[in-house]
Homo-oligomer: A and B are copies of this chain.
Amino acid sequence: MKKKRVYTFGNGQAEGRADMKNLLGGKGANLAEMNLIGVPVPPGFTITTEVCTEYNQLGKDYVVDVLKPEVEKAIKNIEKLMGAKFGDRENPCLVSVRSGARVSMPGMMDTVLNLGLNDDAVEGIAKKSGNERFAWDSYRRFVQMYGDVVLGMKPQSKEDIDPFEEIMEEMKQAKGVELDNELTVDDLKDLVKRFKSAVKKRTGNDFPESAWEQLWGAVCAVFDSWMNERAILYRKMNNFPEEWGTAVNVQAMVYGNMGKTSGTGVAFTRDAATGEDIFNGEYLIDAQGEDVVAGVRTPQEITLEGSRRWAKLQGVSEEERAAKYPSLEEALPECAKELIETQQKLEDYFKDMQDLEFTIQDGKLWLLQTRSGKRTGAAMIKIAIDMLHQGYIDEKTALKRCDPEKLDELLHPVFDKKALAAAKPVTNGLPASPGAAAGQVVFHADEAEEWAKEGKKVILCRIETSPEDLRGMATAQGILTARGGMTSHAAVVARGMGKCCVSAANGVVINYKERKMTINGKVFNEGDWISLNGTTGNVYEGKIQTQDAELGPDFLELMKIADKYTRMNVRTNADTPRDAKVARNFGATGIGLCRTEHMFFEEDKIIPMREMILAKNEEGRRKALEKLLPLQKKDFKGIFEAMDGYPVTVRLLDPPLHEFVPHDEKGQMEMARVMDISYSDIHERVESLMESNPMLGLRGCRLGNLYPEITEMQTRAIIEAALELKREGIKAIPEIMVPLTGIVYEFQAQKEIIEKTIQQVFSENSDSIEYKIGTMIEIPRAALTAHKIAKEADFFSFGTNDLTQMTFGYSRDDVAKFLPLYIDKGILKQDPFAVLDQNGVGQLVSMAVQNGRAVKPSLKCGICGEHGGEPSSVKFCHRVGLNYVSCSPFRVPIARLAAAQAAIE
């Protein structure tokens, strides 16, 4: 049998099928399939990928020769179906030419549109459309496109100038106009002439007038593009073999601007904002695609129902509507009927909400594009659950259809869409904690508190935040900082609180003394209104209305399905009973990280905490710790109670001590008075706590080893709290976690103290509870020596914030100086503090899990860094076999969904 090189499609017929991607390329196979399911796509044909290989081996002449009979036959088929003639003067049939490999490949040939136009055909189009301007504009665009793509006139580097653009600029300057569409028909004719002589000048040849010559040129250009540098590099990077080759797709052009029975529009098979199962969309009669979105004419609704709803909203009377803005169902009922049938076919076929582009040419409907429609988070969930109920998809597919990251929209307030549309951002920063907030600018935490007490809404604006700002942050609507990355103090705390935060905003200069902030030159005084979008990082002047979050039954159903498939547990990072409760409501099944340091900033605790730190010796420290014990015990009781029956991982004191002590004279004087020692003694002690690189200094279990009495006190508080609750019938399951272990002996030393204290408290109470003692793995060395540490530890919790800091050598407080540049230059694909670096940091995690489990198969492993709530990182955690992820309360649903997806994948 003769080898078949060309596969035609059109009018519900096709020689190819969806499963012939290897031969026809992805696009070609889909076009064939569209025809077979009855979707009216413009007719055309596909030249197979095998021809690409022949082209490379046997050359252009051979291929053109061997293709000719089949291509001519295929063109005839197009002509027949379109009622027009390729290269004709009166009734020309124009085509598009596109490449199409078996997978989508950026860096391949661009599309050539309107192929077949020449000095004759342009007149035919002008007549047929009754729009000379359109005809000549199409022509000059075609010459430019063909020149660039097929004749190689496209600039190869950014410094070079496109010769066509240059001519266009000259023309506009000469005519004194600014926009392309201000040029007259004669200008356009002149342009075509000049474009053509530029082609002649550059290539030595005349621009091809013959439609056939144009076609062969474009087909060969597609094959050539398979071997261009960018394509070769891309294949190399993705390990795609050269033998695959690319197919060529030739398809009839259709136009919506051919008179009153033509038109164009876009439509969604379901509501993209709400997810409701209502077909909807907009169109315009006698128009091109760009007219629908240009906003010059008012687009009309496709369905009558939609049209009436629109009129009601706009206050347009039914009479006016029917006369001036009829629905497609009214204007072109046959086309509308076919469109409605087609959209149903598409949804039945793709089993997902589709976003369609269509054109009606002379009363005939053509689908130009269909793809999965973009949708809001709410629509995403509703469509998935509806389609599940409607039997379109199964549970796993419903889960896979939902982007975990988009759940965020449902969990936080958002700006009112209309209000937002009118606003322009004054600057942009890191989207440190999602949600939307509007409030009056304040610069000091205590003022945030005071203003909030008066019922005012405030945005706390700081250069950066510190633990001393905690209560101010809690009462503010949102937080804006001039410095600090995605895991800066402000970002981490705000996410924990579910509070909107924009950090490291560009061009923000804050003057605390003058209570003034300038953003790129614009001045904001205390009390001025400002609005933040923590999801995008945008900052707006003034007050933008917000809408509250609301969780519906679809959301709950989705979460229930997720839990059915998931393997990993999802815990939360929570330091207060309030956060614990929020997380539990979101489905957290334990606390993976309860930081004890934030507790010490509350008013009743900060003074004895400072006494402890500033004490001269162990005796002094023990005295202060005695005061802290009952207070800390109370904290733990609250958290354990909120998590009744679930494990709570409590991390022992971690941060450098200088974070707790007062750095101002006033605060130091107060401590001198409280402790009855001299101010200069206090001052000296505070100074001695300063470190060059506190992140790499005296913190974590180094503290607990230097001052074992702190570990003792914290252990006692935990265990006593659990025992007291047991008497009340509440089950606390504490997991005591040693931070910053780097050496197994470091952990052992801490474990010894903890064990001894626990046994002592047990024997004092003649009672016991279950407990675990484990460690953070957040120092590279700990990951590298996990086989040793696993022998001693009941569990590992990967602190990927610190692990990322040390594996990259990035201080998260300073990284903002170069991270944006690195992401901009492509040196980093993502912020490694937001998305786990699987190659580097992930390698350490994976190594530690494997080596740890090799010596202790039962080793419980989890993650409690910020990555525990980031979907791609959660999936990584699943793959390396973690038992749980832990994230801030508002990320819990996201992590649950991602974990389920990972289990399905």
Hey, which bits of chain A sit against chain B, CB under 8 A? Answer: 691-698, 702, 705-706, 740, 742-743, 745-746, 749, 778-781, 784-785, 802, 805-811, 813-815, 817-818, 821-822, 825-828, 837, 839-841, 843-844
Contact = CB atoms under 8 A, between A and B. Distances in A.
A807 B702 CA distance: 15
B694 A808 contact: no
Contact of A784 (B705, B805, B839): B839
Contacts of A843: 784-785
B784 A697 contact: no
B692 A840 contact: no
A355 to B, nearest CB: 35
Nearest to A700: B809
Smallest CB-CB A-B distances: 4 pairs = A696-B811, A693-B811, A781-B840, A697-B814
B698 A817 contact: yes
A784 B840 contact: yes
A818 B698 contact: yes
A616 B806 CA distance: 31
B821 A705 contact: yes
Given A693-B694, A809-B806, A814-B691, A821 B745 contact: no
Nearest to A843: B784
Given A693-B693, A821-B706, A827-B749, A779 B809 contact: yes
Nearest to A828: B743
A706 B781 contact: no
Nearest to A509: B684
A509 to B, nearest CB: 10
A828 B702 CA distance: 12
A687 to B, nearest CB: 11
B784 A696 contact: no
Contacts of A837: 781
A813 B749 CA distance: 24
Nearest to A740: B809
A814 B705 contact: no
A883 to B, nearest CB: 24
B695 A696 contact: yes
Q: Which of A702, A778, A828 has the most CB of B within 10 A?
A: A702
A809 B814 contact: no
- Stoichiometry (number of copies): 2
Contacts of A781: 807-809, 837, 840-841
B705 A811 contact: no
Nearest to A819: B702
Nearest to A827: B745
Contact of A806 (B698, B806, B841): B806
A899 B693 CA distance: 35
A705 B844 contact: no
A694 B813 CA distance: 10
A743 B808 CA distance: 8
Contacts of A698: 814, 817-818
A414 B667 CA distance: 50
13 contacts: A691-B817, A692-B813, A695-B809, A696-B806, A702-B818, A702-B822, A705-B821, A706-B817, A740-B809, A742-B809, A743-B828, A745-B826, A781-B807
Contact of A807 (B780, B805, B821): B780
Contacts of A749: 825, 827
Contacts of A806: 696, 780, 806-807, 809
A828 B746 CA distance: 9
Nearest to A810: B696
A818 to B, nearest CB: 5
Contact of A693 (B784, B807, B814, B821): B814
Given A693-B693, A705-B821, A813-B692, A808 B779 contact: yes
Contacts of A821: 705-706
Contacts of A779: 807-809
Contacts of A809: 695-696, 740, 742, 778-781, 802, 806
Contacts of A822: 702, 705, 743, 746
B811 A742 contact: no
Nearest to A809: B779
A692 B814 contact: yes
Nearest to A692: B813
Given A698-B814, A740-B809, 16 more contacts: A692-B813, A692-B814, A695-B696, A697-B815, A697-B817, A698-B817, A705-B818, A743-B822, A745-B825, A780-B809, A781-B840, A784-B843, A785-B843, A802-B809, A806-B807, A806-B809
Nearest to A742: B808
Contacts of A817: 691, 697-698, 706
A692 B808 CA distance: 16
A816 to B, nearest CB: 10
A605 B721 CA distance: 63
A818 B702 CA distance: 7
Contacts of A705: 818, 821-822, 825, 827
A744 to B, nearest CB: 9
Contacts of A844: 780, 784
A692 B745 CA distance: 29
Given A705-B821, A705-B825, A784-B807, A696 B696 contact: yes
A778 B837 CA distance: 18
Contacts of A702: 818, 822
Contacts of A810: 696, 742
A663 to B, nearest CB: 14
B811 A691 contact: yes
Nearest to A837: B781
A826 to B, nearest CB: 7
A689 to B, nearest CB: 9
A693 B816 CA distance: 13
A810 B696 CA distance: 5
A843 B840 CA distance: 15
A504 to B, nearest CB: 13
B805 A696 contact: yes
A827 B693 CA distance: 22
A810 B843 CA distance: 21
B780 A811 contact: no
Nearest to A781: B840
A784 B839 CA distance: 8
A825 B692 CA distance: 25
Contacts of A694: 692-693, 811, 814
A783 to B, nearest CB: 9
Nearest to A488: B692
A24 to B, nearest CB: 36
A614 to B, nearest CB: 16
A805 B813 CA distance: 18
Most chain B CB inside 10 Å of its own CB: which residue of A706, A807, A841: A807
Nearest to A684: B509
A423 B806 CA distance: 45
A702 B822 CA distance: 9
A811 B692 contact: yes
A876 to B, nearest CB: 15
Given A780-B780, A827-B745, A785 B818 contact: no
A813 B698 CA distance: 11
Contacts of A841: 781
Nearest to A817: B698
A802 B840 CA distance: 17
A810 B814 CA distance: 17
Nearest to A842: B784
Nearest to A744: B827
Contacts of A695: 692-693, 696, 809, 811
Contacts of A808: 742, 779, 781
A698 B821 CA distance: 12
A691 B740 CA distance: 22
Nearest to A656: B814
A881 B180 CA distance: 66
Contacts of A743: 822, 827-828
A798 to B, nearest CB: 14
A696 B781 CA distance: 17
A813 to B, nearest CB: 4
A696 B784 CA distance: 21
B785 A827 contact: no
Nearest to A464: B692
